[in-house]
Structure 1
Amino acid sequence: MFNELSTQSKAILHSTEVDVDERLQKLCELLKKTVPHYDWVGFYFKNGNKEELKLGPYAGAPTDHTIIPFGKGICGQVAVSNQNFVVPNVQAQDNYIACSITVKAEIVVPLFINGKNIGQIDIDSNTPDPFTEEDERFLEFVNTEVAKIYVS
């Protein structure tokens, strides 16, 4: 599944007919629709010079968490650690920000441009412990491709 999805993701991200936000929106929708355990897919980006993340394009239920301070929640922790964070059970996390009572697991992968963390892709799942190393590698690939459209 991820091989075909990689090809589709690249095609969306590198199609220059639409702006970057629209490409990211289409990508979020594709991932949410195609991967059964991706129930909410979105991007958060560093908010200017502030020590916080701002919600970018996403697919899934609306969220109140449009601004997340660095260090707060899973996304805020990734903004500080620069490391992937896979949470098999969100209820076992002390520093978790609940977006929905249906969310059981989360994966967040940082997005780097020239070695600098500028944001992340965030996926919520209503399935307990669904994320594998394959998910991580695929999302790292996606972020590498996203970085290319910001640099070009």
Structure 2
Amino acid sequence: MTLQELKPFVTLIIEQPEKPVNERLLEICALLEEKIPYYNWVGFYFKNGEKNELKLGPYVGAPTDHTIIPFGKGICGQVAISNQNFVVPDVSAQDNYIACSITVKSEIVVPIFVQNENIGQIDIDSNTIDPFTDMDERFLEFVCKKVASIL
């Protein structure tokens, strides 16, 4: 299934007001992890109240010890400060990378904005080197805009 073909499914999940937000976010994680072969860990991190840190939200994939990430630390922490997408083709080439698993080879993080404020992000780990394209970025920006509409 192509990224474009997944968009209506994401929209369908978002447009279920009877389900709690976290349940819908988990469904999105499961959909992406299942349908995109190189998305091996899919999760959301959100700003932890007034603290300068991110807190792990719903995710699908191997368990992680990184439930709290300080702003500036790792790829997610850098996105919390930069407000920009961050694509890492090869995590071994990154100085400020927080290793979640030895199988992870690349990562993409896209921020979520609500009223022009970066309130969180979607984080994707891949066990493949350099799989992410501009199409992944555009697709994940679409996902983040949909998610922002229910936060």
Partner SS, residue 51 of structure 2 = coil
Q: Residue 60 of structure 2 aligns with which residue?
A: 59
**Partners of 2:67 and 2:23 in 1: CA distance:** 18
Moved over 6 A (4+): none
Counterpart of 2:85, as a letter, is N
* % same residue: 69
Alignment of 1:1-150 (within 5 A): 1-150=2-151
Q: CA RMSD in A?
A: 0.5
Q: Residues 51-73 of structure 1, C-alpha deviation per residue, up to 9 Å, x if partnerless?
A: 00000000000000000000000
Q: Residues 114-145 of structure 1, C-alpha deviation per residue, up to 9 Å, x if partnerless?
A: 10000000000000000000000000000000
Query: Which consecutive unaligned segments of at least 5 residues does structure 1 have?
Result: none
Counterpart of 1:35, as a letter, is I
The TM-score with structure 1 as length reference comes to 0.98
**Count, aligned residues:** 150
Query: How far is 1:17 from its partner?
Result: 2.1
**Partners of 2:106 and 2:39 in 1: CA distance:** 10
**Partners of 2:138 and 2:27 in 1: CA distance:** 20
Q: Residues 19-50 of structure 1, C-alpha deviation per residue, up to 9 Å, x if partnerless?
A: 00000001000000000000000000000000
The TM-score with structure 2 as length reference comes to 0.98
Q: Residues 72-128 of structure 1, C-alpha deviation per residue, up to 9 Å, x if partnerless?
A: 000000000000000000000000000000000000000000100000000000000
Partner SS, residue 108 of structure 1 = strand
